Amino acid sequence: MTARIEAKDSPMTISIELARGTHGITGSISHECIYQAVYAHGKRGLRRGLHECLHRRRRCRKRRRPRGSETTKVSPLGEFNLIGLRPPIALVYCV
């Protein structure tokens, strides 16, 4: 697998060809698992520095949200009272 990554093959291509048994080797591994092994920088069996062989050449994966930002999820229904915070008379009608 290391040789394939060094040859600039994408992890998606490697996982598809392993599933099909194209080169005489059959296996099942997802492209995400390959990416995680590459970005582990030598901690998961692949050698250090393989991320430079990827066609994007990112040192680390980008985070989906910046660090320190709070996640405030807004409900599509808007703001409403939680059931536990409602008065006891409202709980009688829920049953």
Does residue 52 fall inside a structural domain? yes
Model pLDDT, residue 31: 86
Does residue 70 fall inside a structural domain? no
Does residue 84 fall inside a structural domain? no
Q: How many domains does the chain have?
A: 1
The pLDDT tens digits of the residues spanning 54-67 come to 776 566 666 677 76
Q: What is the residue range of 41's domain?
A: 1-62
Does residue 82 fall inside a structural domain? no
The pLDDT tens digits of the residues spanning 14-53 come to 899 888 887 777 888 888 888 888 887 777 777 787 777 7
Does residue 68 fall inside a structural domain? no
| Of the candidates 28, 54, 27, the residue with the CA atom closest to the CA atom of residue 41 | 54
